[in-house]
Structure 1
Amino acid sequence: MSSIIVLLIVLIGGVATAFQAGVNGLLGKKIGIIEGSFVSFLTGTIVLLILLLITTRGNLSPLLQALHVPKWQLTGGILGVIYVLIMIFAVPKIGTATTFVAIIATQMLMSTVIDHYGLFGKTIPINSYKVIGLILLAGALFFIYKSSQVQG
């Protein structure tokens, strides 16, 4: 698959997560943060089960391989819960843009550290371009947060 197609798929994911944050934020405001997170994950689990049944033609035996992976590799769901809880909590309070810039800035900082130390594969050292990019992201967070404070 070409890198352009992969990039387009990732951009669609960005659109989806922006909408997800808003939808989940409103849901959480109506029924509660933890309850909204539960409903979000339940809905997603049902959709994933349907996709799994369709794509595997009902053969769920590959799921048993999860019993044999290192246990830390099963923490993705826990990290997803943290992410969704935080988004449902934060979006109604500080807005979608501020929440996402904060998430993105932190993701970039942590992913730069992860790449630098090669924690999940390829080692990609920190360089001056990345440091400048992180500083610009911090600036973006500052200005978008300040802008929302002026409006709110």
Structure 2
Amino acid sequence: MFMKGLFVLVALCGGMVMGIQTPINGALGKRIGGIEGALISFAVGLLCLSLAVLFLGKGNLSQVTHVPKPWLIGGALGAIGVTCSILSVQRIGVAGTLTAAVVGQILVGLTIDHFGLLGVRRTPLDFSRVLGVILMLSGLYFVLRQNL
């Protein structure tokens, strides 16, 4: 139980970092262009992760040639997500962008869980999860209603 709680905090911190990243990337994109801003964001990320692997890494990068090819699209999906964020934040604000992104993540997450896709344990959709989505969509409406 403690470990699950710890990882809830880790995920919460990750979300908070994304909350800071969104307006920073938005400002960068406004100055140099949306796709260009995403490129710079990922280039800086590549540099940081390269240093982390160099000094802290304990994995085996040579195994990348042996993983299923669909597992390699995560970076492309991240690039799309960051670019969408950069393009959205100037038009619907930070809170609107983050709320919409979280709702999108939850919708995809529920679908993946329900069908047990991508190797995760199957967790069927039930009333409480549907109610959660309805409440999240309601929250999205209230966060965005001034920008609609």
Question: Which portions of structure 1, spanning 4 or more consecutive aligned residues, are displaced by more than 6 angstroms?
Answer: none
In structure 2, what is the Cα distance between the partners aligned to 1:3 and 1:138? Answer: 26
Question: How high is the TM-score relative to the length of structure 2?
Answer: 0.93
Scaled by the length of structure 1, what TM-score is found?
0.91
SS of alignment partner, residue 125 of structure 1: coil
Query: Match for residue 146 of structure 1?
Result: 145
Cα distance in 1 for residues equivalent to 2:146 and 2:94:
13
Q: What does residue range 93-132 of structure 1 map to in structure 2 within 5 Å?
A: 93-120=91-118, 121-132=120-131
1:81 counterpart letter in structure 2 = A
Deviations along 1:105-148, one digit per CA (max 9) or x if unpaired, are: 11111111110000022000000000101011111111111134
Percent sequence identity over aligned pairs: 37
What 5-or-longer segments of structure 2 have no aligned partner?
Answer: none
> What residue number does 1:22 align with?
23
SS in structure 1 opposite 2:117? Answer: coil
**DSSP-derived class of the 2:123 partner:** coil
1:3-152 equivalent positions in 2, closer than 5 A = 3-56=4-57, 62-120=60-118, 121-149=120-148
Gaps of 5+ in 1: none
Distance between the aligned counterparts of 2:73 and 2:27, measured in 1?
27
